[in-house]
Structure formats: C-alpha cells, structure tokens
Structure 1
Amino acid sequence: MTTPLITVDEDVPPLSFNVPESFFSLPLAAGPEERAQLSDAFVRDLYSRGDESLWAPAAPFYAAMAEQLTLSGLSYSALGLFSTDDGGVVQCAFTVAAVETNQTDPDIAAHGILAALAREPHHDARWMDLPCGPAVSCVTLREVTISSELTADQEEKQLLTGQIQVHVPFPTGPYTAVFTLHTASTEYWNEFCDMIVSILRTVSFEPAVGN
C-alpha cells in the first residue's frame, strides 16, 4: 500500500513510502469536518467487529488525537497491529514528520545528524545507505515503570519499550523526513526492525505521476 506524505505546508516537496496492510492510518487532516469524516471511517476499519455503541464515542477521540498530532507537526501517523502465532496481538506506533533544516546537501545533513545523535550515550546511532539516499538511524531502549494502580495484580511492573527513529534528508529541499516506530512489544524487536527497513527502502522523493 503506497502512502503519500500528507503535509500541512504546501512548500514541502513530495515524499511517498509503502506501509504494511496491518497499518491503520490516523486521520490527519487540516479541517475539522474532514477529520471527523476520516475518524469515523478509521474506527470502523480499526474495530471492524464493533458496532455503533463503540464507533460513536471512539471517532471523536481519534479526531481530537489527530488534531493534536497535526498541530505537533506530524504528517503521517498510524497504528500497526499484528497477529502472533499463539493468537495474541502486538502493536506499534509509526509516525513521519518533515522537519525544516538549513542544509540542502543530503550527505552533509546526514553527517551532521549522525554527529549530533551520537553524542547521547543511550543512543545507538548509525549511518544507513537507502535507495533514496543517505540516512541515519537511532535506536533507543527504555524501561518504563507501570504503577500498581494500572496492573491486574496491583503490583508495580517494569516495561521495556523500544524506539527506532530514522532521519532521511530530502534531496529536493531543506527538509529531513523523520520516521519513528515505537513499541512495547520488544519480544518482536527483530521483526519490527526488519519491517521499518522494508518501509524505508520504498521511500521516494519523486513527484507522483500526473503531478
């Protein structure tokens, strides 16, 4: 499934990429009416076995969430839901943002990003060569404390979460695309790493045919 980058700024050059069918795109749209319509379709797709008693209250929630994500500068946001062999479900959050930079040379921009990220001791920052050009990946693992009030057995829990963030400088303008995948299903970490690499290999900065 090809997913064009939806931007709130028409000056940002075009960007597209492919995502798995198990990704449910949040309705990021500029206007409230369009967000409401897209949110209604989103919850019906996400909760396909539900009914109006679930869809009606869920749609405004996701519309409000989409508004906040749009205001924060995100251009694409999705929930990834995947079935496991034992009948369970693992999930991830995936976002894309276009960040304005002061550098139009992708190689110079990528080297600067790598140097900045590598300064942090908890960052695993690495250079990547993608079909669309140079990029920099940054992996961060964090342990989050879940309070006893939120656990089934009323005991405090430690939850390991992982984030993969990849910075891809635009070759067509002073912007960097920031792809972020975050998950608490770290037992499937290798699968998520393979998935985001597959997505990144489809990134294109070419205008859509007919534009």
Structure 2
Amino acid sequence: MNDLAELINDRVARTIPPLAFVVPDGFHALPVDVTAEERSAAAQEFVRGLYPEGDTELWDSAAPYYEHVTATMATAGLAFSALGIFGQEGEGVAHCSLTVAFLRSSHTDTDAAAQGTLATLAEDPLNDARRLDLPCGPAVSCVTLRELALDVEQGPPAEEQPKLVTGQIQVYVPFPTGPYMAVFTLDTASMRYWGEFCDMVTAILQTLDFTA
C-alpha cells in the first residue's frame, strides 16, 4: 500500500462508522481534515506535492488558492477530496477530482437502500443509473455527461461556439455497519480518457472495507 493510501485510510478510519479504500498513484489528497489553524501549513505542503518540480514563487502563489478550496471542502462536510493528475504520452495530462461524502440514512438493509436509491436516480432521464454488486455489498452508480457552451466574446455564432463536455461518476454505497451512505464522486473534463477513469473508479470500489 502506498503512502497516500495509508494517509487516506487513516483519515477515513477516524469517521464513524469506519470506511477504508485505496486510490491509485496520481491522486493528491487535500487536507480537508486539518484544523483551521493547521490549514495554511497543510496547503503549503499540498502544493509542494502537487507541483514537485515547482519553485517557491509557484508554491507561495498557489497555496492560498488551495487553502481556500480546502476550507470550502471541509465546510461542505467532505470526508475526502483529491485531485487526480496523470501524465500522458506526449504533451498534456489527464485530470479529475475525487470526493467522498457520508450521508445519514434511515436504512436497516443495504439491499433495500440500494434499490431505493436506484429508483430515485432513475427518475431523471439524464442519469445512467445502475445497480452494482461490490465485494462489500450492493451499491448504485450514476453517470451523467454534460455539454457546456463556452462563451467566446466576438466569436462565431452561438451554434458554432466551442463546447466543453464533462463527465461525472457518482457511486452510492450503503454502510452495512450503520445508517450511513458513502457517496463517491469523480468529475472530469478529460473526456478523452473517460474509459480509464471509469476503470479507475471500479478499481477503487473493489477496495472498500467497512471493517477497518
């Protein structure tokens, strides 16, 4: 298990009830679990890991932005938040964000919780909602693709404006050990690598452990 995975498991294990999982190399976890007093120093450490070949000028300019992002994520109640950056052959990188949130649920049976979640998500015709059977129990995935028009001033007509396509994968996993629902969310605009990101989420879900 790599150092990042151990760090993630340590963070998640402090929640109630416990949940552990492993992510691939390339994810950089935001310090959403630190105190407000620790946040500035944690952001400095984060940007050094995110930009290992950077310099003091880059780190000092980027740290306040990620400190603000971390504060926003923590306020939103996220248990885990990370940026995924993966180098590709040639120029450019593939990037995504991964978050995990815990929601309170009234379920007493994981199968019933999954069925109810699937029925709710399937009501939206834009959702591709499906049941999953994971090693840890039932879950529900929901895939949504969005096309956004980029507003280019003095550009071509609206129908010819460039489009940005983004994809989101959400997976709802009922806790078998308590009335909670784990929600994994991966967002990306690197749609060229959509298949790889889908495989990545599948691999992460295979590592879920509610007995950590």
**In 2: Cα distance, 1:110 partner to 1:57 partner:** 44
**Per-residue Cα deviation, 1:93-149 (whole angstroms, up to 9, x for no partner):** 110001111113111111110000000000000000001110000000010112215
The residue type equivalent to 1:177 in the other structure is A
Confirm whether residue 53 of structure 1 aligns to residue 57 of structure 2: yes
Partner of 2:81: 77
Task: Give the 3-state SS of the residue equivalent to 2:170 in structure 1.
Answer: strand
Partner of 1:4: 9
Task: Give the 3-state SS of the residue equivalent to 1:32 in structure 2.
Answer: coil
The residue type equivalent to 1:40 in the other structure is Q
Q: How many residues align?
A: 201
1:142/1:35 CA distance change after superposition, 3 Å: same
**In 2: Cα distance, 1:156 partner to 1:22 partner:** 33
Aligned match of 1:171 in 176, 189, 192?
Answer: 176
> Are 2:174 and 2:181, in contact at CA under 8 Å, matched by a contact in 1?
yes
**In 2: Cα distance, 1:132 partner to 1:143 partner:** 34
Partner of 1:112: 116
Q: How does 1:11-30 map to 2 (within 5 A)?
A: 12-30=16-34
Does 25-34 or 197-206 show the bigger shift?
Answer: 25-34
> Are 1:140 and 1:163, in contact at CA under 8 Å, matched by a contact in 2?
yes
Task: Give the 3-state SS of the residue equivalent to 1:66 in structure 2.
Answer: helix
The residue type equivalent to 1:167 in the other structure is Y
Aligned match of 1:160 in 151, 157, 165?
Answer: 165
Partner of 1:44: 48
Confirm whether residue 87 of structure 1 aligns to residue 91 of structure 2: yes
> Are 1:141 and 1:162, in contact at CA under 8 Å, matched by a contact in 2?
yes
Q: Give structure 2 stretches of 5+ with no counterpart.
A: none
* Off by >3 Å, runs of 4+ in structure 1: none
> Are 2:33 and 2:79, in contact at CA under 8 Å, matched by a contact in 1?
no
Relative to the length of structure 1, the TM-score reads: 0.90
Deviation (angstroms), 1:57 = 2.2
The residue type equivalent to 2:163 in the other structure is Q
1:132/1:59 CA distance change after superposition, 3 Å: same
Partner of 1:64: 68
The residue type equivalent to 1:183 in the other structure is T
Identity across the alignment (%): 51
Deviation (angstroms), 1:38 = 1.5
**In 2: Cα distance, 1:80 partner to 1:11 partner:** 23
The residue type equivalent to 1:100 in the other structure is R
Q: Give structure 1 stretches of 5+ with no counterpart.
A: none
Does 120-129 or 104-113 show the bigger shift?
Answer: 104-113
**In 2: Cα distance, 1:11 partner to 1:63 partner:** 22
**In 1: Cα distance, 2:10 partner to 2:168 partner:** 21
> Are 2:87 and 2:94, in contact at CA under 8 Å, matched by a contact in 1?
yes
